[in-house]
Structure 1
């Protein structure tokens, strides 16, 4: 802008001088026509005065042009300052645009990441639903397995308790007589031949019912013969006198037997009790025995 103003000023000055010269020449042509009768000295004096006036006008124009040039310089300086301010603002805007572009790229990258995370969340939700479904199915399978196991255990126990039977003789070995005692005494049959279900205890002589049902019991007692001591044993259920086997002879060998079918509850106790003041004989032939078995559950 400044260079343009510098070039414009000489052009304006030349234009003004050309205009002044043209006016002077025009005046010089007109004056002789109007003053054809004037003297030569008067024409020269008028020309000198006009030239003086023209120089005065040029100086005035130069002053005006100088003032105008100063004003233009001020204006150029202001324009330059405005231009620099605008350039700075443009640079700032460019920096802001660059930063905005970076933020836009970051936003796009984050948006893409958000979409990816949303897809992963959707997939995770599906996996979670599948896991929950599988967990429910596993719980159901486990419950069915537990039920099956319980059923198997129940069937196993039922099978086991349905297989209840025992048989035992009085003496574990040798030959001998048990009694007499001055009171009723429980008999313990120590030589166990079979004890399926382990319901009979060879240490106490007690049979304990493992399941509710009908049981059949048989017992035999051997007698060696004695005038003062008979041979006798009573079948006892929970302290109740059920049946008795009794024999009394003065000499020689004898025996007695009895049996009963009983309805027992779980935990009922059945055993044989030796009759007071009686003797029971047994030897290697096992004459005195106690047997029982489960007929059926109820």
Structure 2
């Protein structure tokens, strides 16, 4: 019984060790170039070109990051747009609630807005990016529009 318990404890420690390595980085479009939006409602942004997804906590199909372990995570996002009547704007959302946002608007030329935050997340907390209604975001093969996050430490 002691041997089984020790083996289970070792497996738990291995899993815990694996979970401590979490990082993802993705850009909006998987390929090509183009604008996302404007739409008459806010939408979840799905960052399709995943460069790094250590720990597989980011879902490229839904755009959702789900915390597999309690800890402090750092997220950053950069959104790019071309000048127009529509702003370039998005917000970082935790469990359905807006945390931080980024917004820029100008009639011509390229524009970029960025932001970042460190959050204490519980197991199962969900973080994602949401584009505001009537916004317009651009991305291409240079990967201007990105969303990244990583675990700083467990708690």
Q: What's the TM-score bracket when you normalise by the shorter of the two chains?
A: over 0.9
Figure out how many residues of one structure are paired with residues of the other and give that number: 155
1:262 offset after TM fit, Å?
A: 0.3
1:297 offset after TM fit, Å?
A: 0.6
Structure 1 consecutive aligned stretches of length 4 or more whose deviation exceeds 6 Å: none
Q: Which has the higher helix share?
A: 1
The TM-score, its normalising length taken from structure 1, stands at 0.52
Match of 1:256 among 113, 116, 121: 113
User: If you compute each CA radius of gyration, which structure gives the higher value, 1 or 2?
Assistant: 1
| 1:166-217 deviation line (CA, Å, top 9, x unaligned) | 0000000011000001111100000000100000000000000000000000
RMSD between aligned alpha carbons?
Answer: 0.6
SS in 2 for 1:272: strand
1:149 offset after TM fit, Å?
A: 1.2
Match of 1:165 among 10, 23, 28: 23
**Taking CA–CA contacts closer than 8 Å with sequence separation of 6 or more, which of the two structures ends up with the larger relative contact order?**
2
| 1:126-146 deviation line (CA, Å, top 9, x unaligned) | xxxxxxxxxxxxxxxxx1221
2:95 maps to 1:238: yes
- Structure 1 match to 2:42: 184
- Structure 2 match to 1:292: 149
- Give 5+ residue unaligned stretches, structure 2: none
- Structure 2 match to 1:272: 129
SS in 2 for 1:154: helix
Distance 1:276 1:187 in 2: 12
The TM-score, its normalising length taken from structure 2, stands at 0.98
